[in-house]
Amino acid sequence: MTSFSNTGNFQERGSYFTAGESVNLNNCDKEPIHIPGSIQPHGVLIGFSAEGEVLYKSANLEDFFGETVSLQRECHLREIIGEEAAAVVIEKRKNSGGKKYFPLEISQKDGTVQLFDAQLHLHNAVYILELEPVKGKGTAVDLDYFNESMQHLQEAVSPEELANIVAQKIRQLTGFGRVMVYRFNEDGSGVVFAEEKEEDMDPFLGLWYPATDIPQQARKLYLQNPLRIIPDVHYTPSEIKSVPENGPERPSPDLSFASLRSVSPIHIQYLKNMEVGASMSVSIIQKNRLWGLIACHHPVARHISYPYRQLCELLARAFAMVLGEKEEALQWQYSQQVQEVKKALFQNISKAENFTDGLHNGTPTVMDLIRCGGCVVSFGEGYTSLGITPPKEEVLALIDWLQKNIQEEVFSSRELPDLYPEGEKFSDTGSGILAIAISQVQKEYIIWFRPEVVHTVTWAGRQEKNIVEAGDEQLSPRNSFEAWAELVRNKSEKWLAVELEAAKDLRGLIVDIVLRMSGQLKLRADILSRLNEEMNSSKSEMDSFAYIASHDLKEPVRGIQTYASFVLEDYGAVLDEEGKAKLKTLIRLSSRTQQLVDSLLQFSRMGRMELNPSDTDLNALLPDVVDIFRPRFTTERISLEIQNGVWPTVSCDELRISEVFMNLISNAIKYNSKEEKRITIGFRRAGEDEKSPSGYVFFVQDNGIGINPKFHKEIFTIFRRLNARDAYGGGTGAGLTITKKIIERHGGRIWLNSELDRGSCFYFTF
């Protein structure tokens, strides 16, 4: 059983509280307000079974019906309200579907007949009958007033005007001193959205209340039972007792749907602190969601008959319906505006030579697409800000955070600092963000910023509840409604679904453009790749052909040369001079062919062979190379200088790099007609524009015949000679080609600086 007292103690044996435990600061959210164990005394309550057996009755029955049957034995409903009235109730029970209201006449023991407003509903296998006496013959409901009110509601042009009208109509209908439309927010807090009051009352319009003022379990009951009335906040509760009292103990009945249900002592104290004598609340329900309440207050006790309460409930339903239409119309209007801006913006983007220019040049811009304080477009190397945005360095840091932590392609937050603490630095301009990732890898984003709602919210008293000493610590509502201001920080307006959808569509368009562009680039890249593959394939095939041809031709050519020599030697005595001359020409040509074949074979091998790189000390390599030419220094008057002293150690194929130096030194000696041939070998650090794997540029310089600049590229072509075939000792014209091949195989390059008759300098890296 539940015990209830005016001190605020609330005790229940069950899952919420244990016997003797009182509601306090730690457990107030668990207060079982749906099973209070008592009712308000302006009516009576009887609980009975399907057969009419009385299971519960309120202790105030005698106040309405005089002496009744003893609670010590079982009894039937007819023994309390009479045969005729019981028959009506039983008939209503048969047709009961949800809560039933009906007028009910009950004969009193003095022979008079009392009219009651009766309400009947079934809950947890118990029929709950509530009876409220009607004064006189009752009051008929004015349906014309309802029709007129409906017309005024439908004529309203905004939610605010609509709320003012319904508050005005309900105050006129009920006579309450103050009628407020109270709107819930997502976090459970609420605001007085509209108010109609007596002139001498303090205004509550615009006051905000914390979520704890109407706990979750109370909001749930407001959704289940749309209308609640407290005719007198100073009432003494009437306890609900089991029948018979000496029978098996029954749990307190669940009164979630009962109009007479007793009120939480916390709420009663709350109303007393507001100096309210009577109150009524009507739920505003939209799509099975509690949008708000119509809260009515009066300074003294005031009772509203059930028919008029029903009319108030109808007006609340009409308000919810029309409000839904108004809100949908406003959403549709904004949605249309977004669609028009999106269409124009998409056209600008499509027409722009560079699609990013279409985002911020002209009208509208990407900032106009969504309500915001500012917008940033960061794409590739470009960065553009529109409106009021955080500093660029803060935005770039935010983009880094988005790339690392957010996987969604479209991301939004109205409380960014809660997720990204660094965002508190720019909460005045960007507490809320809506970001679309064009490319997370490339850190390409479009971000809309919304400033924090730095507005002063006037709350009805402090959010903290005061503690009142009443024996134990008891939870009490705030004793004063002196408004105080709280600054709401680090939170922006909510991003709407239509805005998120517009951002998603914009991302889709941009990604489509980027893909088309990348598709065109990919097509071009594919063409170039195929051409490169074909060239590489042709080059590889040419190398293979050159290798096979030179290898296979080497023996036949050597055979021709050998047999021609044999013929000249063995048959020279019988041949005339002309025959001998022809054989000598054949030997000379075959020897020349042998040289070409050997050069071609060496060139083809360079393209096919594997390099064997190792750390090579050039200080040891160069003297060995120079020693090969040393016997010629005196006879041909050659001066060769190795500059720079200590040379670096580099990673290379030692044998092939020796060949490079030998070829270049050999050419420096060969193509020189000076009496004294000067050759210089050196190196230097590579410049910024000289890409060198080793970090160095090497060179071989001479004072020879030089090369006309127009032939600087041609000299690296195989078998290309700039002089007569036999001039300067002859040759095949393959030496520089092979040198270039070796250097390129090492990832380097070769070039020269030369003029006719002024010598040449060959530079190379590897």
Stretch 124-136: mean pLDDT: 88
Residue-wise pLDDT tens digits, 362-384: 888 889 888 999 999 998 788 99
What is the distance, to the nearest Å, from the Cα of residue 545 to the centroid of all Cα atoms in its chain? Answer: 60
Instruction: Judge whether 284 and 320 are in contact, CB under 8 Å.
Output: yes
**pLDDT surpassing 80 at residue 391:** yes
**pLDDT surpassing 80 at residue 574:** no
Amino acid at 350: S
List Cα–Cα distances, 655 to 621, 649, 738, in angstroms: 9, 15, 13
> For residue 71, how many other CB atoms are within 10 A of its CB?
17
DSSP structure class, residue 450: E
Work out the mean pLDDT of the chain and round it to a whole number. 79
Query: CA angle 387-392-393, nearest 5°?
Result: 155
Residue-wise pLDDT tens digits, 606-656: 555 677 889 999 998 998 888 888 888 888 899 999 987 889 999 998 988
Say how far apart CA 748 and CA 665 lie, in whole Å: 19
| CA nearest neighbour of 59 among 107, 102, 3, 13 | 3
Residue-wise pLDDT tens digits, 339-351: 888 888 888 877 7
Residue with more model confidence, 661 or 569: 661
Rounded to a whole number of angstroms, the CA Rg of the chain reads 51
Stretch 93-115: mean pLDDT: 81
* pLDDT band of 13, cuts 50, 70, 90: very low
pLDDT of residue 118: 93
Residue with more model confidence, 475 or 62: 62
Instruction: Judge whether 445 and 435 are in contact, CB under 8 Å.
Output: yes
Instruction: For the sheet with 100-107, list strands across it.
Output: 38-39, 238-242, 54-58, 44-48, 126-133, 113-123, 100-107
> For residue 391, how many other CB atoms are within 10 A of its CB?
12
Tokens at 704, concatenated: 């020879």
Tokens 């098996």, located at residue: 248
pLDDT of residue 73: 72
| CA nearest neighbour of 42 among 156, 135, 144, 145 | 135
* Of 143-147, 166-170, 475-479, minimum mean pLDDT range: 475-479
Query: CA angle 587-589-593, nearest 5°?
Result: 115
pLDDT of residue 333: 83
Stretch 494-504: mean pLDDT: 89
Say how far apart CA 63 and CA 45 lie, in whole Å: 12
pLDDT of residue 342: 84
| Long-range interactions of 479-486: CB distance < 8 A, separation 24+ | 479/273, 480/273, 481/202, 481/207, 481/273, 481/274, 483/207, 483/458, 483/459, 484/458, 484/459, 485/456, 485/457, 485/458, 485/459, 486/456, 486/457, 486/459
Determine phi and psi for 550, rounding to 5 degrees. -65, -35
pLDDT of residue 564: 65
| CA nearest neighbour of 280 among 166, 147, 130, 180 | 180
* Of 335-344, 530-539, 552-561, minimum mean pLDDT range: 530-539
DSSP structure class, residue 112: -
pLDDT of residue 529: 52
pLDDT of residue 475: 35
* pLDDT band of 97, cuts 50, 70, 90: low
**pLDDT surpassing 60 at residue 442:** yes
Say how far apart CA 54 and CA 280 lie, in whole Å: 30
pLDDT of residue 676: 92
Say how far apart CA 226 and CA 281 lie, in whole Å: 8
Stretch 264-282: mean pLDDT: 88
Record the pTM. 0.58
> DSSP H helical segments within 382-434, as ranges?
392-405, 416-419, 427-430
**pLDDT surpassing 60 at residue 139:** yes
pLDDT of residue 67: 66
pLDDT of residue 25: 39
* Of 160-174, 593-607, 612-626, 652-666, minimum mean pLDDT range: 593-607
Residue with more model confidence, 681 or 36: 681
DSSP one-letter string for 145-173: HHHHHHHHHHH--SHHHHHHHHHHHHHHH
